[in-house]
Amino acid sequence: ILNVEQSPQSLHVQEGDSTNFTCSFPSSNFYALHWYRWETAKSPEALFVMTLNGDEKKKGRISATLNTKEGYSYLYIKGSQPEDSATYLCALKNSNSGYALNFGKGTSLLVTP
């Protein structure tokens, strides 16, 4: 079982605040790191797929960075909006798990007006 850790477990911010979450993972045999957003009553949707050390990706107000050598990724949300409220999942792919996606427990974000 791959140990993919996410912190914090939950977060409550005010509209307009910027926030960030952490995903930690074993750095050996790294293949890819995925971020997904899971809104209530919907299916998880991909935000980013990152494969290279030092990768930085951005989609609107959301961005992510990747450090494969030390085994962590950060997800940043700038100027949070109520519609950003969701659970944010990171998932690791590496050769130890046959390249299947192994998920962390997620960070639950609530943004209030």
Binding region for another protein (CB under 8 A): 1, 4, 6, 31-32, 34, 36, 42-46, 49, 51, 89, 91, 93, 97-106
Min separation Cβ 44 and another protein, Å:
5
DSSP-derived secondary structure for the chain: ----EEE-SEEEEETT--EEEEEE---TTEEEEEEEEE-TTS--EEEEEE-STT-EEEETTEEEEEETTTTEEEEEESS--GGG-EEEEEEEEEGGGTT--EE---EEEEEE-
Q: Which is nearer to another protein, 15 or 45 (CB)?
A: 45
Min separation Cβ 46 and another protein, Å:
3
Q: Which is nearer to another protein, 9 or 28 (CB)?
A: 9
Min separation Cβ 90 and another protein, Å:
10
Min separation Cβ 33 and another protein, Å:
10
